[in-house]
Amino acid sequence: MRTRLLVVFAVAALVFGGGPGIASATTTASDTATVSLDGGADDVRRLSLAGHLQADLIGLAVGPRLELLYRLGDPDGGENLRLSVGVLPGPELVHVPLAVGYRQCFDLGDVAQLGLGLGFELQSFFVPDHYAVVRPAFYAEFVLDFKVMDNGWIGVHTGADVAPFDYFGFGIMTRLGFRWDFGG
């Protein structure tokens, strides 16, 4: 199980840490492509940070969840890599999800965005007087965000997950929160 967790952290470090594989290609007047790894103003515009209050409806756990989005392709585009972590205490357990996924966002005019996402989640459940249960799961999410300022959004998210291995189970969640798009 530690190996799975290390793989998730390694992938996240490469994707969000600016490691190899995140390069921007530009075309010059002579139609030759050049690759740059130096970053720049566009890199900041690719990032969004969100904070949510999440409620798990199966298992009854409520708590904060942070999310980092990295826009692929066009810095103002809708393709996002998603990294998320939360701590959700409940009356019977504490749920700690760590997720890596993909979210596609669609603009609904200038005031709203619709998002659909899929991904992998490593779910840890800590039950008092019991050993911790860690299981892999796959999730799907539906996102509706409303623009409240130039770079700020409030949103309602809902989703479901299934853990088909080891400890089989389903999950349903809803989130309310705020997202800030860096740059402008």
The pLDDT score that the predictor gives to residue 42 is 62
Closest CA to 179 of 103, 119, 120: 103
Q: Residue written as tokens 């509706």?
A: 144
Domain that holds residue 95: 45-181
Let me know if residue 20 belongs to a domain. no
Let me know if residue 113 belongs to a domain. yes
Counts of helices then strands in the chain (DSSP H, E): 2, 11
Let me know if residue 121 belongs to a domain. yes
**How do the pLDDT tens digits run along the chain, 184 residues long?**
444 444 444 444 444 444 433 333 343 444 443 334 445 556 788 999 999 999 999 889 999 999 999 999 888 788 999 999 999 999 999 999 999 999 999 999 889 999 999 999 999 999 988 889 999 999 999 999 999 998 999 999 999 999 998 889 999 999 999 999 987 6
Let me know if residue 139 belongs to a domain. yes
Phi, psi of 75 (to 5 degrees): -60, -25
The pLDDT score that the predictor gives to residue 184 is 60
What's the number of domains the chain is made of?
A: 1
Let me know if residue 104 belongs to a domain. yes
pTM: 0.73
98 vs 77: CA distance, rounded Å = 25
CATH number for the domain that contains residue 120: 2.40.160.20
Let me know if residue 23 belongs to a domain. no
Phi, psi of 36 (to 5 degrees): -125, 130
The pLDDT score that the predictor gives to residue 24 is 38
Question: Contact, 144 vs 155, CB < 8 A?
Answer: yes
64 vs 75: CA distance, rounded Å = 27
CA dihedral of 98, 171, 116, 118, whole degrees rounded to 10: 50
The pLDDT score that the predictor gives to residue 58 is 86
Let me know if residue 49 belongs to a domain. yes
Let me know if residue 24 belongs to a domain. no
62 vs 57: CA distance, rounded Å = 9
